[in-house]
Structure 1
Amino acid sequence: MTEHDTDAELGTDGGTETSTDGGAGTEPERETTELDEPSTDEPISIAAPDIGAEAKQRVQSVLESGMLADGPEVRAFESSFAAYCGAERGVATSNGTTALHAALEAVGLEDGDAVITSPFSFVASANAIRLAGGTPVFADIDPETYTIDRAAVERILADRDDIAGLVPVHLYGLAADMDALRSIADDHDLFIVEDACQAHGAAIDGDRVGSLGDAACFSFYPTKNMTTGEGGIITTDRDDVADRAASFVNHGRDVGDGGSYDHVDLGHNYRLTSLAAAIGRAQLERLPEFNRARRANAMYYNEELESLPLETPTEPDGYRHVYHQYTVRTDDRDALAATLEDHGVDTGVYYGTPIHQQPAYETVSTAAATLPNAERASETVLSLPVHPDLSERDRRIVVEAVRDHFHSQ
């Protein structure tokens, strides 16, 4: 965290820094310099991981230390990332999917338990429930936020008495309605495991995701707001959950006895390497910078695309969107994507098939459900480049391509 952060970023010790916009409003544009003429043969990518010199130096230090697997570097990363989220404990894992699996095992999911989650997400959200022995039950999404709809959750709970927990997905960088979901969970004695794999630094009323449920899970895949190359982490305020997760990701070892060969439960090798943790520690220091740049790019798009016949992302009052993706909606999605490709702009469709319609989910009990908001979103969403390395030229080309498409109709 740098001393000049002024955009409602919370410090890594859980404190709050000076804010210029309350955390959810329009932010000042980044300073720009005169740009070189655009290259005509290099596309504007949908993602551009920025590792940086500091991360490379830290990796070199780990290489020279000889301690390449799990060790002090991982413990330091766990502590720093948990503090960034405002959580007490962190348990690093090999990727976001293993984080979800381990967290569900740690909160006590039992074979046959049903868990409500979103059908509009990367498939890992539901896969982890199945890997942990549970059954995903899909609740439809809010069409404005793309996150799980509280009314849909309540309807399921009115019809079923076998629900053990909730796995809300903070999608595209926007938190789910955690106030409502926590109230529901309290009323029905359910656990909550946040899928925060796309939401590093997202917040509600100043409280970061990662601190809003019984546990939360993040991914550090290269395209995420920060990366370790591959990696994940569980954050939690519950010592029992952290201890069980730490054991589960390390072959079920007794976590109170260091490197012992006492295996007290069944587990996996889901550990993060020290090399990945070294990258993660450097990336975490830059995460506020990355998120400010993503938000600045999103605000630029919001303003420049406002008059066009497409829906731009929603940021509810009190929420802080960190724009892992900048996702628009239009019935003309495929044609718009083709126009952008013609202009050298990469786009992405996240996600073109909702999970309940995936072939791997044909045998799941709620696969035949009608979930109109998720199904409609899958037909109309398109993500534009929003990553921190976009130049002013890049942003202008994206906007002009979108305008050209609609003005030519």
Structure 2
Amino acid sequence: MTAANIPFGKPILAEDAFSAVRSVLESGILVHGKVTEAFEDAFAARIGVEHAVAVSSCTAGLHLVHFARGIGPGDTVAVPAMTHVATAHAVELAGARPLFIDVEAGTGNMDASLLAKAVEDGAKPAAIMPVHYLGLPCDMDAVNVVASDVGAYVLEDCALAVDATYNGRKAGGLGLAGAFSFYPVKHMTAIEGGMVTTDDGDLAAAIRKRRAFSYNRALGERTRPGIYDVDALGYNYRMSEVEAAVGLSQLSHLDDFQEARARNDAILREGLSDIPELTIFPDSNAQARSSHYCFNIVLPRDGSIPRDAVVDFLKARGVGTSVHYPSAVPMFEYYRSKYGYTPGQFPVAEWLGEQTISLPVAPHVSESDARYIADCVDDAIKTVKRG
């Protein structure tokens, strides 16, 4: 079989993105401008919420929500043990402690029954952060019940979940707030950056203020140039006009991007579902529909098929891969050393961290590419098992 060249991720930028960036550069207004406002309005409409606030990253957005809500020392925030470290870092940055909850073996999402058990055992999280793993929404009904029982707010980590739905509603509108990522290989990019979505007007106003040092007057509200007061602590978490221009362009192409992702996911699912050694998560259930960020295969828990050998085989065939994510978060050195976690405390998340391989489904992958990837994975499993 001839090797291909299929990277895991590759941003797709249309000509209108380049022209939009040039217009911004020629305008001389690179921050605090109308393009960012237009991007916020368009994204809010896409998600179906009242407010969207553009920020410098998804991590910044998560942090700002906690900061605006007064989360700090003495508070705990429930997060899944399998996620990008940014989810937990946002809690640490606020001065609170993550309460790690293991994930479901069938979806990789926070196990709501374990969350409920933690509460029954005495945990009182001030906030709960469900992460829609690979774009499949969590059991939000169960999460919201627990949140209501303890008086916690729900902050969705939607970094991989643009357009994912739960009971017909889009992720980012299923709790108090959601935070999205526009990193280059996400569903859509703004070069970098993120967005906070919410129906809470007071929260949106607080985040807008705190993303820009907590100036008491925004740039366009100042009666005299350069004159303002600062009445609270804030950060420099703004999005630039250039990034917003790229984001607006990407939104105009997002339907096509999502169609390609769903097509490629279906091809891989058909080609790999009969390999008994692989665990493959669903792309939908009774309530949830995935946004198809990537296609994860999970190797056996016993290590009988070494991940590195499979990855090396695929690399030799020109198939790029990634891992989502390389460790259960409590097993990363920072968290393990600080809180004393030991292997075995989060068995499902640890298995996923050790045995997951992420395959590409993004729009740069053609139908023939997707079939080629499936064939290569099949060959890899057979070859590594023999070897």
Q: TM-score when scaled to structure 1?
A: 0.87
- In 2, the alpha carbon distance for the partners of 1:166 and 1:190 equals 7
The letter for the 2-side match of 1:306 is S
- In 2, the alpha carbon distance for the partners of 1:392 and 1:169 equals 29
Higher helix share: 2
The letter for the 2-side match of 1:371 is F
Cα-to-partner distance string for 1:96-126 (whole Å, 9 max, x where unaligned): 1111111111233132210000111111100
- Residue 328 of structure 1 pairs with residue 297 of structure 2: yes
The letter for the 2-side match of 1:49 is P
Give 1:255 shift: 5.5
Change (3 A) 1:238 1:364: farther
Give the alignment of 1:58-97 within 5 angstroms.
58-97=20-59
Give 1:305 shift: 1.3
Q: Is the 8 A contact 1:107 1:214 kept in 2?
A: no
- In 2, the alpha carbon distance for the partners of 1:79 and 1:255 equals 21
Q: Is the 8 A contact 1:165 1:192 kept in 2?
A: yes
Q: Is the 8 A contact 1:348 1:382 kept in 2?
A: yes
Report the equivalent of 2:212: 250
Give 1:363 shift: 4.4
Report the equivalent of 1:319: 288
Give 1:322 shift: 1.2
SS at match of 2:135: coil
- In 2, the alpha carbon distance for the partners of 1:281 and 1:52 equals 11
Give the alignment of 1:197-276 within 5 angstroms.
197-254=159-216, 258-259=221-222, 261-276=228-243
Report the equivalent of 1:302: 269
The letter for the 2-side match of 1:338 is D
- In 1, the alpha carbon distance for the partners of 2:216 and 2:44 equals 22
Which residue of 353, 373, 376 maps to 1:398?
373
SS at match of 2:147: helix
- In 2, the alpha carbon distance for the partners of 1:70 and 1:144 equals 44
- Residue 98 of structure 1 pairs with residue 67 of structure 2: no
Report the equivalent of 1:196: 158
SS at match of 1:394: helix
Give 1:405 shift: 2.2
- In 1, the alpha carbon distance for the partners of 2:43 and 2:171 equals 12
- In 2, the alpha carbon distance for the partners of 1:397 and 1:292 equals 19
Give 1:281 shift: 0.7
Report the equivalent of 2:146: 184
SS at match of 2:126: strand
Give 1:393 shift: 2.7
- In 2, the alpha carbon distance for the partners of 1:239 and 1:189 equals 20
Which residue of 238, 245, 252 maps to 1:278?
245
- Residue 378 of structure 1 pairs with residue 353 of structure 2: yes
Q: TM-score when scaled to structure 2?
A: 0.92
**Runs of at least 5 residues in structure 2 that lack an aligned partner in the other structure:** none
- In 1, the alpha carbon distance for the partners of 2:217 and 2:130 equals 29
**Paired residues, number:** 371
Give 1:380 shift: 1.6
The letter for the 1-side match of 2:281 is P
SS at match of 1:172: helix
**Runs of at least 5 residues in structure 1 that lack an aligned partner in the other structure:** 1-37
Cα-to-partner distance string for 1:12-52 (whole Å, 9 max, x where unaligned): xxxxxxxxxxxxxxxxxxxxxxxxxx984x52100010011
Q: Percent identity?
A: 35
Report the equivalent of 1:31: none
Cα-to-partner distance string for 1:54-94 (whole Å, 9 max, x where unaligned): 11111111111111112111111111111211111111101
- Residue 288 of structure 1 pairs with residue 251 of structure 2: no
- Residue 346 of structure 1 pairs with residue 314 of structure 2: no
Q: Is the 8 A contact 1:93 1:233 kept in 2?
A: yes
- In 2, the alpha carbon distance for the partners of 1:300 and 1:161 equals 43
The letter for the 2-side match of 1:345 is V
Change (3 A) 1:353 1:207: same
Change (3 A) 1:305 1:45: same
The letter for the 2-side match of 1:311 is T
Give 1:366 shift: 6.8
State the 4+ residue runs in structure 1 displaced beyond 6 angstroms.
Answer: none
- In 1, the alpha carbon distance for the partners of 2:217 and 2:109 equals 35
